[in-house]
Structure 1
Amino acid sequence: MSKNMIECKKVIYKYEKNEENNAKIAVNEVDLDIKKGEFLVVLGHNGSGKSTLAKHMNALLLPSGGKVYVDGMDTCSSEHIWQIRNKAGMVFQNPDNQIVATIVEEDVAFGPENLGVEPSEIRKRVDDALHKVKMYEYRKHAPHLLSGGQKQRIAIAGILAMRPNCIIFDEPTAMLDPSGRREVIDTIKDINKNYGITIVLITHYMEEAVEADRIVVMDKGKLIMEGTPRKIFSNVSVMKEIGLDVPQMTELAYELNKSGINIDSNILTIDEMVNVLCQLK
């Protein structure tokens, strides 16, 4: 068995030719291995290819060149398609587009029902998934009355009920307010840490990326950097060059250094900044 959940080997993806007869290369020879149980964040500005790459990870898109393997299965082989989508679930930006039923627990049951799971097992999975995202007490509610963050947690429960090994999140907090974003990120961290589910999070919020085991940065269809959050965010000038921010505290440390105050530039959080400032003579 592969120790990698997802393997991208020289993946190329071209969009269809446009009026000028040019095919746009959205993903350009990307090599990426994602380990089982890892929490990986993919960063990049709009048009960098990050969402296109994410859609290859559960065979929503198939590569124009190269190969993608999910738990050792080739996404291009049609007999594996259901198994792949079972193993790698996907949560999108807009929670309203992912909710299909008028009662929360029916919505969460939709996936396992489609997989032909026994009714008694579905009941167990629905309750289990709602507990995991801390939404069990809302099981009889109408999803459209919930907040954006709660709806997104219901969408996550719907994927969890299908018992995936991996969940790919494509900018799941983009349409949420700060408290909804926090709820969703806490849920993602929790299912990664406590249930060992591999997480791939596509985001443009740097504060969310701080939580990852590893970050990869995409620009113009290519992977240009990878490493721990500390390593990635210490490259403030490179990040700015490609149009990305860094966490506010990293930015502050960078600016303080530029103005002659000698402090560690690898700071990621407010707590770390407070500690460093308190130690300044």
Structure 2
Amino acid sequence: MEKKMIVCENVKYQYEENDKENSKFAIDDVSLQVEKGEFLVILGRNGSGKSTIAKHMNALLNPTSGKVYVEGLDTSDEKNIWNVRNKAGMVFQNPDNQIVATIVEEDVAFGPENLGVPPDEIRSRVDECLKRVHMYDYRRHAPHLLSGGQKQRVAIAGVLAMMPDCIIFDESTAMLDPSGRQEVLKTIKDINDKYGMTVILITHYMEEAVNADRIIVMDKGKIIMEGSPRNIFSQVTKMKNIGLDVPQMTELAYELKNSGVNIKSDILTIDEMVSELCQLKSKI
């Protein structure tokens, strides 16, 4: 059987605190699998454990108990850490924390250089990865002069240049304005669609989850919902009860249905809403 991209088995994680007996588990017996080539979104409120589980997938954290495997490699085995991080790259919330050079192309080259990649290969990787994120024209610019969305795309290019099999985006759009968020989200979707790369997106923006293959919802360190975007978001009451929103069009469909309009409850996008309303109008 082909190895899964990531497997978490009964993972528990407890942050080191003074009162160990009374401190809660940030991750509480979580088991999940990520398929190769999948676009998985993990949703949850602040403190739900979604970022903590993300850091386990890159061996930044090791489970208090349980196991995490990245392409079959046990993340708690120190001998595997280098390989694990090569296979599962990570893009963080603040791009400034990931940019290390004063020129864009030098920043993207930093990772491959540390991996000992030959110079000619580095050159082609840098150019290719900057083109993938639509930042090639900015290759000689200073990163600190770029917008937030552009910086984040450079950070993504830097991870891509190390040629991982999976990229984990840990709330990578949280500090961006709406247009920057759209830029980065389109880049993430392209990486998954065009290049078949496994993508795990940690977010609390519901609209970002609409295009996922699968959504996992976490709360209080546990997985409480799992399914397709249509399946998850149509459960409006349940989502609201755990303090999460749903996409605006799903919310609108929910309110219309409650007002007596005979409309589908699993609408996700504006296009779907327009199509549904047009069909309703034609029946009147």
Query: Same fold by TM-score, threshold 0.5 exceeded?
Result: yes
Q: Distance in 2 between matches of 1:79 and 1:114?
A: 18
Q: Tell me the distance in 1 between the aligned counterparts of 2:260 and 2:268.
A: 20
Q: Give the 3-state SS of the residue equivalent to 1:17 in structure 2.
A: coil
Residue 229 of structure 1 and its aligned partner are, at CA, apart by 0.2
Q: Deviations over 1:42-80 (max 9, x none)?
A: 000000000000000010000001000000100011111
What residue is the counterpart of 2:158 in the other structure? Answer: 158
Question: 2:194 matched to which residue of 1?
Answer: 194
Answering whether residue 120 of structure 2 is matched by residue 99 of structure 1, we say no
Quote the offset at 1:153 in angstroms: 0.2
Aligned equivalents of 1:176 and 1:216: distance in 2? 23
- Alpha-carbon distance in 1 for matches of 2:163, 2:193: 16
Q: Which residue of 1 aligns with 2:69?
A: 69
Deviation of 1:18 (Å): 3.2
Paired with 1:13 and 1:20, the residues of 2 have a C-alpha distance of 12
Amino acid in the other structure paired with 2:104? V
Question: What is the match of residue 24 of structure 2?
Answer: 24
Conserved in 1, the CA contact under 8 Å of 2:14 and 2:25? yes
- The answer to whether the 8 A contact 1:17-1:24 is kept is no
Cα distance change, pair 19–236 in 1 and its aligned pair in 2 (3 A): same
Q: Structure 2 matches for 1:1-281, cutoff 5 A?
A: 2-19=2-19, 22-280=22-280, 281=284
Deviations 1:214-254 (A, max 9, x none): 00000000001100000000110000000000000000000
Give the conservation status (yes or no) of the 8 Å contact 1:2–1:71.
Answer: no
Q: Is the Cα–Cα contact under 8 Å of residues 239 and 245 in structure 2 kept in the other structure? A: yes
Give the SS at the match of 1:16.
Answer: coil
The answer as to whether partners of 1:70 and 1:84 remain within 8 angstroms in 2 is yes
Offset of 1:150 from its aligned partner? 0.3
Equivalent pairs, count? 281
Q: Contact 1:2–1:72 at 8 Å: present in 2 too?
A: no
Secondary structure in 1 aligned to 2:15?
Answer: strand
Segment drifting more, 61-70 vs 15-24: 15-24
Asked if the contact 2:90/2:170 (under 8 Å) is kept, the reply is: yes
Q: 2: CA distance between counterparts of 1:81 and 1:3?
A: 18
Deviation at 1:182, TM superposition (A): 0.5
Contact residue 4 and residue 33 of structure 2 kept, 8 A: yes
TM-score by length of structure 2 reads 0.97
How far does residue 3 in structure 1 lie from its aligned partner after superposition?
Answer: 3.6
Amino acid at match of 2:73: M
Q: CA deviation at 1:19?
A: 5.0
Structure 2 residue identity aligned to 1:158: G
CA RMSD of aligned residues (A): 1.0
**Secondary structure in 2 matching 1:69:** strand
Which deviates more from structure 2 when the two are superposed, residues 117-126 or residues 244-253? 117-126
Q: Residues 20 and 36 (structure 1 numbering): CA distance in 2 closer, same or farther, change over 3 Å?
A: closer
Q: Which amino acid aligns with 2:48?
A: S
For 1:249 and 1:61, locate their aligned partners in 2 and report how far apart those are by CA, in whole Å.
37
The one-character-per-residue Cα deviations of 1:74-94 (angstroms, maximum 9, x if unpaired) are 001111110100000000001
Counterpart CA distance in 1 for 2:33 and 2:201 is 14
| Unmatched segments (≥5 aa) in structure 1 | none
Runs of 4+ in 1 over 4 A off after TM superposition: none
CA displacement at 1:278 relative to structure 2: 1.0
**Cα displacement (A) at 1:259:** 1.0
Q: Deviations over 1:111-146 (max 9, x none)?
A: 011111111111111111101101001000000000
Alignment-mate amino acid for residue 82 of structure 1:
W
TM-score (norm: length of structure 1): 0.98
